[in-house]
Amino acid sequence: MFDPWQSNDGTEWDFIESMSNILNITNGESAVSTMKQANIPGSFLPWNDVLHEGPVPIGLSLEKLSDVRAQFIIERGWGAPEEIIEEFALRDNALKASSEYDRVILWFEHDLYDQLQLIQILDWFYNGPTMEVGLSIICTNQYLGKLSPEEMGALVKYEEPVTEAHLKISSKAWSAFRSSTPDKWCELLNTDTAVLPFLEGAVIRLLEEYPSGKNGLSRTAEQALRIVSRSEAHPGRVFAGNQKLEERVFMGDASFWVVLNELLDSSPPLIVLSEGKELSAPPSRGQKLSITQAGIDVLAGKLNWLECSNIDRWIGGVHLEPTNVWCWSSNSRSIEKRA
């Protein structure tokens, strides 16, 4: 479990009495670890949440939304319930206490995972309590968790102040992401988002996770199915192959396993596991995936996956279910509700 109340050297302190004047907010513990090794000054807050997975409904406060997110992660089995609930509470309290700092620096990447976290935090600063704090951002096309301490330290040259323009477009995007229909999110493609140079790519990549109008598959599901069709059988290698197809890697293995299970559980299934095996995380050596005839037909456009699956998935504030299916067209860059 992460602990946002630690100093640069890992020593716990009393938050109010011994607070550094800088709060660094970033995407996870891996980045925090490297930042500490790089002797980045200040306190650290990892913003742990996989926002592209599960419900993120509109109209909820930070705390109420965290309750929803915690419950989703608990239901996924991605951690002990008590620890997950406590992590969200500590995280939210740390953000609300940011007024005690002189400066807050946001360290984020260019991929979908990070861009959603970034617009959530910037929306909070835009609509939250008025506070006198210097807010700045460091956002590049480098994956923070893969940097050496020296490379991490060098990123400080990219720090820039957060402006009203950053805040306004983030608030607009965060509201659109949480809307019950994807129209407003798609409309961001016709909006000037240049102040956040990686946001447009994130908008498109999230839209690609909606069912395709051609075969009903999300981009991730289609990539996985095509990799399996080329006889790449081991689930771990399928995941690695999927990562190589991403312009900006954003999905972890736990989320990818959900996609594989959906392909396994449809009726008829699009892929199957070797007899007597169940998909596990991490996968065992004996697990072997193969494509079925239904999978071949879906890839060929002869069968729509939506006709053999009972879709029940959230993308932001949109609940995809049989009576509410939205399909994305990459050619026209448009999204429409399926009749």
User: Model confidence over 233-266: pLDDT tens digits?
Assistant: 899 999 999 999 999 999 999 999 999 999 999 9
Predicted pLDDT of residue 132 = 79
pTM, two decimals, is 0.92
H/E segment holding residue 22 = strand 22-26
> Is pLDDT at 117 greater than 90 in this prediction?
yes
> What is the residue-averaged pLDDT of the chain?
92
| DSSP E strand boundaries for 185-286 | 271-273
Q: Would you state the structure tokens that stand for residue 327, as one six-digit string?
A: 């399909």
pLDDT for res 13: 31
**Structure confidence at residue 20 (pLDDT):** 56
* pLDDT band (50, 70, 90) for residue 19: very low
In the chain, the domains with their CATH numbers are 22-205 (3.40.1360.10), 213-310 (1.10.10.10)
Q: What is the DSSP letter of 324?
A: B
Q: Give 157-160's long-range contacts (Cβ < 8 A, gap of 24+).
A: 159/105, 160/136
Report the 10 Å Cβ neighbour count for 262: 22
What angle, rounded to 10 degrees, do the helices at 253-265 and 235-244 form? 110
Average of pLDDT values for 268-295?
88
- Tell me what pLDDT residue 75 has: 96
Contact (CB, 8 A) for 50 and 257: no
Q: Confirm if 30 and 21 have CB atoms less than 8 A apart.
A: no
Q: What pLDDT score was predicted for residue 199?
A: 98
Determine the pLDDT at residue 190. Answer: 97
Q: From CA 283, how far away is CA 152, in angstroms rounded?
A: 32
